Amino acid sequence: MVKTLEWTDAGVRFIDQTRLPTEEIYVTCGDYREVAIAIRDMIVRGAPAIGVAAAMGVALGVRDSKATSRSALQVEFNEICNTLAATRPTAVNLFWAIRRMRDRFEQLASSPVESVKRALIEEAQHMYLADIAACEAMGRHGAVLMPSSGGVLTHCNAGALATCGYGTALGVIRAAVEAGKKIHVFADETRPFLQGSRLTAWELNKDGIPTTVIADNMAGAMMKQGKIGAVVVGADRIAANGDVANKIGTYTVAVLAKEHGIPFYVAAPWSTIDLATPDGDRIPIEQRSAREMTHMAGKQITPDGIRVENPAFDVTPHRYVAAIITERGIAKSPYAESLQVLAAAGAIPEQQTAIATP
Amino acid sequence: MVKTLEWTDAGVRFIDQTRLPTEEIYVTCGDYREVAIAIRDMIVRGAPAIGVAAAMGVALGVRDSKATSRSALQVEFNEICNTLAATRPTAVNLFWAIRRMRDRFEQLASSPVESVKRALIEEAQHMYLADIAACEAMGRHGAVLMPSSGGVLTHCNAGALATCGYGTALGVIRAAVEAGKKIHVFADETRPFLQGSRLTAWELNKDGIPTTVIADNMAGAMMKQGKIGAVVVGADRIAANGDVANKIGTYTVAVLAKEHGIPFYVAAPWSTIDLATPDGDRIPIEQRSAREMTHMAGKQITPDGIRVENPAFDVTPHRYVAAIITERGIAKSPYAESLQVLAAAGAIPEQQTAIATP
């Protein structure tokens, strides 16, 4: 399986997602500032991968610190966390991961600097392994929701490349295929960054899962033609009421799915669920550079001086969502209740499927 | 105003729409085969423009004929018409225009070859002028349907570049702006050929009409944010029951408009209405080259060997359509009746607005 990101002695190593699918190039970020740049410039992207990348960035920054006292280290630690937190505003996993590293740092308030460094590296590596395990658990829980055969539409890339491995939405598809389901994936190309045509198509092609790339605007026609039996997407943040922030265009897909009576599923690790945010209206939506819209492969595709919109995400209200698949189990409407049930369940054993449908 | 296409002594001159918006280059097709290639390769596109281009192609082919007898000319004429008809299957204007040239040719069965040549050139030039007049009439009829201010979404390019001038959907917007309405256009970029970002944005920018380019997948988010008060698009073929074939992605926009209670209007000349085709299921849908999806500006954007879909059009069922704006007036549901009323009205004086709502 592709190594989306990896801790190495030289730093955090990423597959450069801006170069796929034609070039498989790995870059190593030698310090935490380079990790922050890699997140901001989408060399690594996908909410779960961003979270673990940030944790590894924190570990790297602390490891490289020259501080000899706790108080000096604390100053540096805050600077490291702030730099990494300022990269992308929407995916809550980023803040969750930094918070978790901060909690660990605070637990070690009286430990020597060297053991703090070791413990933070271990913590980031534990988060890496836990992310893969969470994806595999989502796959087990979600596979039963997939049709036994036919087309499944996904948007953006919620795959191995968006996580530490296996994927969220694509993990559900992988698990369904492993269980013998005959699924043909329809991958929205996902303008402007083309995560679908570049990344989802690349990783599914590598796995031999039949995949057809469509332009985002073809999803309606494919559904009308009866080619799509289910939709499954990832998420960047899920509010307490079940509203889902995900890649721009997800809401359009959800509306189309509703119109055609097709179930719309969201797969995301528990770290994506933000119970402190009551609904989708409170989720900050990142606006990205106009150049992603005005240029393509270096070529200008809009006239000089034209206005563009480039929100990186949109919010799908919970009423469009048939189920939220997490490693803790599956939540169904009403989400304000079912997500609380999963929250209370805490870290239940991963081999157990909790179906939380109040 | 831009000259989308033009009859010249040297042949049919087109603005090369594959080079816009960064290069304003004109090409002259010196014989009818070059006109056919220009249509097939989308140097000229848009149903009304394709129709007149084909008519000019027929006139050019006949003009250049070395035939001295009617029977020899008839053989060449058939070859010319067949070549032009084989370029693109969906836009009915192509077949309408060739049929009209054929009718004129048959009317002149007993005329000398030289007067047939003159008459066919005149017929094509008359169709050119009539197309501009039809767009202006659509503008007058449709302007009242536009909101007095705010956002209007359009898909693909149904503008001056899709017609002989002024445009169908963009003609309605232009007329509304000329009538003092404060409209801000949202232009779907319209993958894969980018008619929205390249062509609609270019011609509206030239006219000083405020325009924002969005990725196709952003339309839902823009509507949910309340930025869109109406949708107006063109058409490539409208069946007798009001089903509308138009650029791929139009159906997705129509579903989104319905979900948000936003009126979805179609503007098209009468030549786009195909009463011989009972419903949208019978409209042939052109499949274009995979390369339009796999490459962009020469750069490969999908992995080797991936499947793609590339239907050039989709069909929007009539139940999503709030009104069809033609030069003969406005048709509303039930279209099976209202389109017959407009058909019976025939070529009514253009200054008169016929509101056909049985």
Pick from B218, B248, B255: CB nearest A256: B255
pLDDT the model gives residue A349: 47
What is the Cα–Cα distance from A216 to A252, expressed in whole angstroms?
9
- Residue B194 with chain A: CB contacts under 8 Å: 301
Cα dist from B275 to A100, B271, B282, whole Å: 66, 10, 12
Cα dist from B341 to A99, B93, B239, B265, B344, whole Å: 68, 20, 15, 19, 5
- Residue A296 with chain B: CB contacts under 8 Å: 296-297, 299
Mean pLDDT of A208-219: 98
What percent of chain A stands above pLDDT 90? 94
Query: Is A205's CB within 8 Å of B303's CB?
Result: yes
Mean pLDDT of A150-155: 98
Torsion of CA B292, B298, B300, B305, to 10 degrees: 60
* Best to test chain A binding among B218, B246, B259, B288 (most A CBs inside 10 Å): B218
* Best to test chain B binding among A301, A313, A316, A320 (most B CBs inside 10 Å): A301
Contacts of A58 (CB under 8 A, 6+ apart): A32, A77, A80, A81, A84, A97, A98, A101, A120, A124
* Best to test chain B binding among A306, A310, A314 (most B CBs inside 10 Å): A306
pLDDT the model gives residue A347: 52
- Residue B209 with chain A: CB contacts under 8 Å: none
Residue in chain B lying closest to A307 (CA): B212
pLDDT the model gives residue B353: 45
Query: Is B212's CB within 8 Å of A188's CB?
Result: no
Mean pLDDT of A147-174: 98
The angle at the Cα of A134, spanning A4 to A35, to the nearest 5 degrees, equals: 35
Structure tokens that stand for A236 in this block: 């960047």
Residue with token string 């490289």: A64
pLDDT the model gives residue A192: 97
- Residue B297 with chain A: CB contacts under 8 Å: 296-299, 301
**Per-residue pLDDT tens digits for A124-139:** 999 999 999 999 999 9
pLDDT the model gives residue A346: 76
pLDDT in tens, chain B (358 residues): 789 999 999 999 999 999 999 999 999 999 999 999 999 999 999 999 999 999 999 999 999 999 999 999 999 999 999 999 999 999 899 999 999 999 999 999 999 999 999 999 999 999 999 999 999 999 999 999 999 999 999 999 999 999 999 999 999 999 999 999 999 999 999 999 999 999 999 999 999 999 999 999 999 999 999 999 999 999 999 999 999 999 999 999 999 999 999 999 999 999 999 999 999 999 999 999 999 999 998 899 999 999 999 999 999 999 999 999 999 999 999 999 999 999 998 755 444 444 444 4
Residue in chain B lying closest to A23 (CA): B303
Residue with token string 């989708």: A280
pLDDT the model gives residue B347: 52
- Residue B222 with chain A: CB contacts under 8 Å: 309
- Residue A248 with chain B: CB contacts under 8 Å: 215, 217-218, 221
* Catalytic position from the list B236, B243, B274, B314: B236
What percent of chain A stands above pLDDT 70? 97
**Per-residue pLDDT tens digits for A63-101:** 999 999 999 999 999 999 999 999 999 989 999 999 999
Mean pLDDT of A258-283: 97
Query: Is A214's CB within 8 Å of B308's CB?
Result: yes
In the predicted model, is pLDDT for residue A13 greater than 90?
yes
Pick from B197, B259, B293: CB nearest A302: B197
Query: Is B198's CB within 8 Å of A305's CB?
Result: no
**Per-residue pLDDT tens digits for B165-211:** 999 999 999 999 999 999 999 999 999 999 999 999 999 999 999 99
In angstroms, the first-to-last Cα distance of chain B is 37
* Best to test chain A binding among B155, B195, B251, B252 (most A CBs inside 10 Å): B252
* Residue B236 annotated among the catalytic residues of the structure: yes
A277: phi then psi, degrees, rounded to nearest 5: -105, 115
Residue in chain A lying closest to B246 (CA): A221
- Whole-number average pLDDT of chain A: 95
**Per-residue pLDDT tens digits for A47-66:** 999 999 999 999 999 999 99
Quote the ipTM score: 0.94
Pick from B252, B302, B305: CB nearest A217: B252
Three-state SS at A162: helix
pLDDT the model gives residue A111: 95
CB A186 within 8 A of CB A151: yes
pTM of the model: 0.95
| CA neighbor of B183 nearest in space, from B216, B218, B228 | B228
What is the Cα–Cα distance from A240 to A278, expressed in whole angstroms?
5
Query: Is A221's CB within 8 Å of B305's CB?
Result: no
- Residue A306 with chain B: CB contacts under 8 Å: 197, 201, 205, 211-213
Q: How many CB pairs under 8 A join A and B?
A: 194
What is the Cα–Cα distance from B156 to B152, expressed in whole angstroms?
13
Query: Is B297's CB within 8 Å of A293's CB?
Result: no
Omega prior to A21 cis, within 30 of 0: yes
